[in-house]
Structure formats: C-alpha cells, structure tokens
Amino acid sequence: MDYSDEVQGKRLHDRFDKDIMTTLARCVWVPCPVIIGAGPSGLAVAACLREKGIPSLILEKANCIASMWKLKTYDRLRLHLPKQFCELPFMPFPAYFPTYPTKNQFMAYLESYKNRFGLDPVFNKTVVSAEFDDQCGYWRIKTLGLKQEETEYVSQWLVVATGENADEVVPQIEGMDDFGGPIMHTSSYKSGRLFRGKDVLVVHVLPQEMLGKSTFGLSMWLLKWFPVSLVDRFLLLASRFILGDTGKLGIRRPKLGPLELKSRCGKTPVLDVGTLAKIKNGDIKVYPGIKRITRRAVEFVDGRKEDFDAIILATGFKSNVPQWLKEGDLFSEEDRMPREAFPRGWKGERGLYAVGFTKRGLLGASFDAKMIAEDIELQWKPETTNLLPYIQPLPII
C-alpha cells in the first residue's frame, strides 16, 4: 500500500472527518443520496431526509439555490396559489407573509429553509450524464465545473430534482432571424419598463398535451405594464357569465373544463376580467397564429400584417432529464416527464427517484419528497457509510 492509499484509508474510517465523501482521483464516493438540483424540490427532499437522520449531497449547476425562481422570472412575480399550498415540508411560511408571497419573499423563505435544515448544496456543478453501473451496482453521476473540471460522483441513490422547467422552449418561426428588433424569451424578461411606448408582440405556444396540436395562447403577466398584441388561438375562460361571449373577440373556449385540463397537463391558461376589458377597448389586440416574421412586421395566418418593435416569447419551459439521464424506464423520451402519472411517478428502479415532476406545483413536490425520504429510510444503514466499494473511475466523454 503506497502513501496516498494509506491516507485515503485512514480518512475513510475517521469518524471525525467533516467530509461525508472520499475522493479517489476524479471519482467521488458518496455514501448517501445524491440530489440533482437545488430548487424547492431538491431542498424538500434533502430536508425530509435530514429529518430522518439521513444526509444527502445536492448538486446544482447554478451558483445559487432556486436559480429558476431567482434568475429566470420577472420582478413582480407572486405565487399564484395561496401560501399554504406552496410551503415545503416541516416549515410553514411566516405568518406575516401575505396570502400570495412575492418573488423576493419566496426566495427569503427558501434561504431560511436551507439554513434551518443545514443544507449545503455544491454549486456550479453541471451534470452531463448519470448512469447506473451494473458492474459495481451504483449510480455514476458525471459533472463539469466552472473551469470544465470533471468530477464523477458514485452513489446508491439518485434523486432527480431538476424540475419540469429546466430549459426554455423556443419555437422556430419563419423569418425570426430577419427580425430587426429584439426577440426575447420570458426567462430574460424582468420588467415592462424597457418596452413602454413600444409595440410588443407576446407569443405563447400552448403545449400539444394541452390542446392536441401546437397553438398560440396568451401570456398574462406582461399586460399590466404596457400595451401588447397577443397571438392567441385557444384560451380557457373562468366563467362565460362574467366574461361574456369571448368568441367575438377572437378567443375561443376549449372543449375541456379547467379541472380536467389541470388534471391532464397541470397547466391552465387563464384570462382575467381586467385583461378582457383591455381587449375590448383595444389596448390589447388578439391575433391568430403567425405565418411568418419579416424585418419589422409579423404576418398572421388570417392575412393581417402588423409592425412590431419587439417580440417576447412566452412559450414556456421543458424538462431536460433525458439529455443526461441514461435510463429509459422512469422518464419518457417524448415528453421528458415520468412515465407514471401522479402519484406514482416518484420512484424508479435501482435507487432512482424523481421529485417535482407531478404537474401539481410545490404541493406535488412536497408529496414526492416525503415519499422518497420514507422509501430511502427503509434501505438506509448508517453503519455501511464507512464501507468504500471498489469503484474504477471512468473518463467523462
């Protein structure tokens, strides 16, 4: 045994070593669950595990927790549901928070949540692949750091917590590259102040799972700041009696009701009364689908052509799990979501779990987190965390 092997062996059996993992070259053995993603879902799983005395390692590609909320949402965002339906396990929102907390209040809540349970994510670690190694019986999670340094983590358990909204959905529309003004995805939008006095087109492509085909819908939150034109073909209205016959305004009602739509795809496009008033008085114009985009104008499928200064793509997000998870049973390649619907989509095979893919928001993520922690607890043997299996490091491709 050479000197380095002897040091590694001593560190491995040193119960006072503050590190819970032992490094072998670029290969890191993790004796506890590895959680991919430090958003609300990842934090919830880690907290549920901590409550059961089980540590975890959280890997996060950004430099902060809840990067989607912090970096890719608009300034005036509030939770869309009352706070009691959005709290994470074991910690309610402060009583003095409003019913619908602001973005900053929610971020403060998540920071407090992280600190309360002593969670310490490893930031700036982008997972490039995760694959189960049949030879050693463990998951291999390969990552790249800020300087493209390669690290491979090895663990018995892998929890996918990257969420339903990891990557932007950017539709390809004829002529987009020729447009003379800015084309921005909502992940980059912060405030309407930059667009005051300008003619802005907001495009919202509703997912196929909601409508059966790609159609154009409505982005609500931009309307409160500046006059916009909306590409719309299919919109869900809360009450025909309150809103009237919106078909006259170019907005058709779907055949499915709001509860069935929510149950099937987890999303419900909504038009409020105030927005309808702006449509009626002409502050907001509703257009059908786009045919093509030119340097300064947009041609629509009904033959109309209008000039615009900017285009904002409120076209949503998608899961990116199949890009890096080398496993075809738990997640579908088609919609990038668990194959099993809620409440059965949280558990895969061989120690693989998914949290935050329920299409039921934070409440669904909390349900997943509790179920995952309970399942791992049945397998957890603290005395085995000091036993290091032989793992042969593999190069990252």
Query: Which segment of 161-175, 361-375, 383-397 scores lowest on mean pLDDT?
Result: 383-397
Instruction: Answer whether residue 24 shows pLDDT above 60.
Output: no
Task: Give the strands of the sheet with 57-59, arranged side by side.
Answer: 57-59, 34-36, 158-160, 352-354
Query: Which of 110, 99, 108, 119 has the alpha carbon at shortest distance from 50?
Result: 119
pTM for this one? 0.79
Query: Interior CA angle at 182 toward 177 and 184, to 5°?
Result: 95
Strand partners, 190: none
Burial class (CB in 10 A: 0-12, 13-18, 19+), 25: exposed
User: What is the pLDDT at residue 262?
Assistant: 63
- Average pLDDT rounded to a whole number, residues 184-199: 88
Instruction: Using pLDDT thresholds of 50, 70 and 90, give the confidence band for residue 237.
Output: very low
Distance, in Å, from the CA atom of 97 to the CA atom of 105, rounded to the nearest integer, reads 8
User: What is the pLDDT at residue 301?
Assistant: 85
- For residue 201, what are the CA distances in angstroms to 77, 216, 241, 290, 296? 20, 12, 29, 11, 12
Instruction: Answer whether residue 36 shows pLDDT above 90.
Output: yes
* pLDDT, mean over the chain: 78
- Average pLDDT rounded to a whole number, residues 372-397: 65
Out of 156-160, 161-165, 229-233, give the one with best mean pLDDT: 156-160
Instruction: Using pLDDT thresholds of 50, 70 and 90, give the confidence band for residue 358.
Output: confident
Instruction: Answer whether residue 250 shows pLDDT above 80.
Output: no
Out of 83-87, 236-240, 244-248, give the one with best mean pLDDT: 83-87
Strand partners, 237: 271
User: What percentage of the chain has pLDDT greater than the value 90?
Assistant: 45
Out of 9-23, 110-124, 282-296, 343-357, give the one with best mean pLDDT: 110-124
- For residue 89, what are the CA distances in angstroms to 35, 78, 213? 17, 20, 37
Instruction: Using pLDDT thresholds of 50, 70 and 90, give the confidence band for residue 340.
Output: confident
Q: Residue 128 phi/psi, 5° resolution?
A: -100, -25
User: What is the pLDDT at residue 216?
Assistant: 34
- Whether the CB-CB separation of 206 and 234 falls below 8 Å is answered with yes
Instruction: Answer whether residue 124 shows pLDDT above 60.
Output: yes
Query: Interior CA angle at 95 toward 89 and 97, to 5°?
Result: 95
Instruction: Answer whether residue 245 shows pLDDT above 70.
Output: no
Chain-centre distance for alpha carbon 201: 25
Out of 65-69, 77-81, 254-258, give the one with best mean pLDDT: 65-69
Instruction: Answer whether residue 224 shows pLDDT above 60.
Output: no
- Average pLDDT rounded to a whole number, residues 86-109: 96
User: What is the pLDDT at residue 331?
Assistant: 75
- Average pLDDT rounded to a whole number, residues 323-343: 77
- Average pLDDT rounded to a whole number, residues 300-317: 88
Query: Which of 67, 21, 46 has the alpha carbon at shortest distance from 353?
Result: 46
- Torsion, Cα 86 372 53 27, to 10 degrees, reads -110
Which pLDDT tens digit goes with each residue over 41-62? 999 999 999 999 999 999 999 9
User: What is the pLDDT at residue 137?
Assistant: 92
Show the tokens assigned to 361.
């928001």
Q: Residue 88 phi/psi, 5° resolution?
A: -90, 165
User: What is the pLDDT at residue 232?
Assistant: 37
DSSP assignment string, 330-346: SB-TTTSSBSSPTTSTT
Show the tokens assigned to 109.
């809540």
How many Cβ atoms from other residues are within 10 Å of residue 370's Cβ? 19
Instruction: Answer whether residue 228 shows pLDDT above 70.
Output: no
- Average pLDDT rounded to a whole number, residues 245-271: 64
Burial class (CB in 10 A: 0-12, 13-18, 19+), 317: middle
Burial class (CB in 10 A: 0-12, 13-18, 19+), 209: middle
User: What is the pLDDT at residue 248?
Assistant: 66
Show the tokens assigned to 279.
């449509």
What is the residue type of 393?
P
- Which residue is associated with the tokens 């590190």? 19
User: What percentage of the chain has pLDDT greater than the value 70?
Assistant: 71
Q: Residue 78 phi/psi, 5° resolution?
A: -130, 160
Q: Which ranges in 246-325 belong to alpha helices (H)?
A: 258-265, 273-280, 321-324
Residues 6 or more apart whose CB falls under 8 angstroms from that of 286 comprise 229, 230, 232, 249, 250, 251, 279
Instruction: Using pLDDT thresholds of 50, 70 and 90, give the confidence band for residue 227.
Output: very low
- Average pLDDT rounded to a whole number, residues 384-396: 46
- Whether the CB-CB separation of 106 and 79 falls below 8 Å is answered with yes
